[in-house]
A and B are shown apart, each in its own frame.
Chain A
Amino acid sequence: MTKSAILEVKEGKTRQAVNSFLKDLFAKNVVEAMLVPLAHPSGTNVVQALISDPSHVDQADVFAPVMPVNSAKILQAMTRLTPVDRKTAIVIRPCEMRAVVELIKLKQIQPANLLFISIDCPGAYSTKDYPKFAAEKKTSDDFVKAGFRWAEDAQLRAGCQICEYPYPLTADITIGMLGLEPGQLLLIADTPRGEEALKTAGFTLETDSATAQKRQAALARFVPEVKERRKKFFEKTKEEIGGIEKLTQVFATCIKCQNCRAACPVCYCRECVFVSPTFELESEKYMRQAVKKGGIRMPADTLLFHLTRMNHMANSCVGCSACEEACPNDIPLLKIFQLTGAEVQELFDYVPGRNVEEPLPAAAFLEKEFQEMGEKK
């Protein structure tokens, strides 16, 4: 059962329509503050901003195809110590929403007073490529008109091209677009809180409207399509990086700066073991390792870093490509981490960001699982 209202888009001006909705939230006192992507005056980026003055909403550009930072990281910084004290709308993409759910489970985000608004997401370009897009005088409205066309748009971030969940799984309100006629957006209340917010903002909600059903039908078509695309992508990835030789080739250009870790929304540890005293070794220990193998790559433990990180976060990997974006040497991290992430998640029947009540695989177990492991052969 979907409760939704139609948001009319006049003359293809999606951005204006969304912004008028966001303004209503302020005007009707649904929220007092908002975390929302605003167009940077430079014209070269669209960045998250925490605003309390509704006039800033005019600069909001929710569908602009750029995501410089996964906002889950922003919310972690904001709410880890104390929850926000006033009603605040959080306008984020589906992959950010999923990372938020993971961080709530990891006690890094306190969601009290937050109203999550997410979108049917047509994807984003690399932060490095967005200025080019903007310089061609293209706008988010043009981008939205082109719709969902990952397969054709090779400029999209690697993660967007194979995104399994470009629609929100747990937001309070979804700004729906999938499968709809141009000129319409759908405001979907996915939770009682979202329903109340939309009603207070002056919308009349319809249950299972024809438009909502259209979107559901589009989703039903879309899911097997993307599954197939992902399957092919992973098969190709295995050919590209499978085996120790190819794997070390991929990481040959790694400088172990650990930017991928810093940018990853679900790599949440405040003190990573790789910057802890565990890896502050006396010279003799390096020397002993070198003697044992005849030689070791320096900085030491480069591949260990990536494989360990994978073991620590693969279950929660939402495939946002923040790691790949952060890599100064363009290592194709997304495909490697999504490949392992997807297969590990399948192993535990786990979808990161699906449900905040679902325990993290590392924190749970079943007595009757993997029973052949540990037993005599």
Chain B
Amino acid sequence: MAETTQTKEQFEPRIIGFLCNWCTAAAADLAGTTRAQYPPNVHPIRVMCSGTVDPMYILKALLSGADAVMVGGCHPGDCHYVSGNYKARRKIAMLKQIFKSLGLDENRVWLRWISASEGPEFAKFMREITEETRKQGPSPLASDWTV
């Protein structure tokens, strides 16, 4: 696709979202059924729990050309599997630290708790992450064939 050669003015961020089945994916559904308007830049991938998202998948998305990656889970204490979201938080804290240590951009990795009832919150977050990523510009990894 020609996206990689886009200039910043017409830059449309491509974002991968890993959404927990029980909360954030349900919130996405609710946002849809309530006809909330939000940008379509986040490509959702439903997972059973935010805790199942191995950092490898986040890295793979970023190295394959995603401009940002988000993981959405249940609020602390509300995990369907009791503690998966706490484990997700540790994994992402670690991934972000590794990015920081290596001088990579940790701000392209997002974690957000959005519960099943928070359809409007979901729509709001979609706007937030899209606009923030648009401000950051295309990920340098997205057009680098050597990564």
> What distance in Å separates the Cβ of B15 from its nearest Cβ neighbour in chain A?
15
* B100 at interface by CB-CB < 8 Å: yes
Contacts of A304 in B (CB 8 A): 56, 59-60, 63
* A202 at interface by CB-CB < 8 Å: no
Q: How would residues 238 to 249 of chain A score, 1 for a CB under 8 Å from any chain B CB and 0 otherwise?
A: 100111101110
* A137 at interface by CB-CB < 8 Å: no
Contact count band on A: 35 or more
Chain A: interface secondary structure?
helix
Contacts of A29 in B (CB 8 A): none
Contact residues, B127-147 vs A (CB, 8 A): 128, 140-147
Contacts of B80 in A (CB 8 A): none
Contacts of B102 in A (CB 8 A): 241-243, 247, 336, 339-340
Q: Across the interface, do A296 and B98 meet the contact criterion of CB distance under 8 Å?
A: no
A-B contact pairs, 27 of them (CB 8 A): A241-B103, A243-B103, A244-B104, A248-B144, A248-B146, A248-B147, A273-B56, A292-B64, A294-B145, A301-B63, A303-B63, A303-B147, A308-B54, A311-B59, A311-B91, A311-B94, A311-B98, A312-B55, A336-B102, A339-B102, A343-B97, A343-B100, A344-B97, A344-B101, A348-B94, A362-B91, A374-B76
Contacts of A312 in B (CB 8 A): 55
Q: Across the interface, do A291 and B1 meet the contact criterion of CB distance under 8 Å?
A: yes
* B93 at interface by CB-CB < 8 Å: yes
Known: A308-B56, A374-B76. A365 touches B86 (CB 8 A): yes
* B120 at interface by CB-CB < 8 Å: no
Known: A304-B56, A343-B101. A373 touches B147 (CB 8 A): no
Contacts of B63 in A (CB 8 A): 301, 303-304, 307
- Selected from A246, A289, A311, the residue in CB contact (under 8 A) with B56 is A311
* B8 at interface by CB-CB < 8 Å: no
* A83 at interface by CB-CB < 8 Å: no
* B73 at interface by CB-CB < 8 Å: yes
Q: List the A residue with the shortest CB-CB distance to B98.
A: A340
- Selected from A293, A308, A373, the residue in CB contact (under 8 A) with B55 is A308
Contacts of A244 in B (CB 8 A): 103-104, 140-141, 144, 147
Known: A292-B1, A293-B4, A344-B97. A308 touches B59 (CB 8 A): yes
* B83 at interface by CB-CB < 8 Å: yes
- Selected from B64, B83, B100, B103, the residue in CB contact (under 8 A) with A247 is B103
> What distance in Å separates the Cβ of A349 from its nearest Cβ neighbour in chain B?
13
* B48 at interface by CB-CB < 8 Å: no
Q: Across the interface, do B90 and A370 meet the contact criterion of CB distance under 8 Å?
A: yes
Q: Across the interface, do B97 and A347 meet the contact criterion of CB distance under 8 Å?
A: yes
Q: List the A residue with the shortest CB-CB distance to B121.
A: A376
Contacts of A339 in B (CB 8 A): 101-102
Q: List the A residue with the shortest CB-CB distance to B51.
A: A365
> What distance in Å separates the Cβ of A80 from its nearest Cβ neighbour in chain B?
24
Contacts of A270 in B (CB 8 A): none
Q: Across the interface, do B143 and A293 meet the contact criterion of CB distance under 8 Å?
A: yes
> What distance in Å separates the Cβ of B76 from its nearest Cβ neighbour in chain A?
7
Contacts of A374 in B (CB 8 A): 73, 75-76, 85, 89, 111-113
> What distance in Å separates the Cβ of B24 from its nearest Cβ neighbour in chain A?
11
Q: How far is the CA of A371 from the CA of B75 in the complex (A)?
A: 11
Known: A308-B56, A370-B89. A247 touches B98 (CB 8 A): no
Contacts of A295 in B (CB 8 A): 145
Contact residues, A282-337 vs B (CB, 8 A): 289, 291-297, 301, 303-304, 307-308, 310-312, 314-315, 336
> Which 8 A-B residue pairings sit nearest by Cβ, starting from the closest?
A242-B103, A365-B86, A295-B145, A311-B55, A243-B103, A308-B56, A374-B113, A343-B101
Q: How far is the CA of A291 from the CA of B4 in the complex (A)?
A: 11
Q: How far is the CA of A304 from the CA of B65 in the complex (A)?
A: 13
> What distance in Å separates the Cβ of A246 from its nearest Cβ neighbour in chain B?
8
Q: List the B residue with the shortest CB-CB distance to A239.
A: B103
Contacts of A308 in B (CB 8 A): 54-56, 59
Q: Across the interface, do A367 and B64 meet the contact criterion of CB distance under 8 Å?
A: no
Contacts of A366 in B (CB 8 A): 86
Contact residues, B28-84 vs A (CB, 8 A): 54-56, 59-60, 63-65, 73, 75-77, 83
Q: How far is the CA of A375 from the CA of B4 in the complex (A)?
A: 31
Q: How far is the CA of A336 from the CA of B4 in the complex (A)?
A: 29
Q: List the A residue with the shortest CB-CB distance to B2.
A: A294
Contacts of A296 in B (CB 8 A): 145
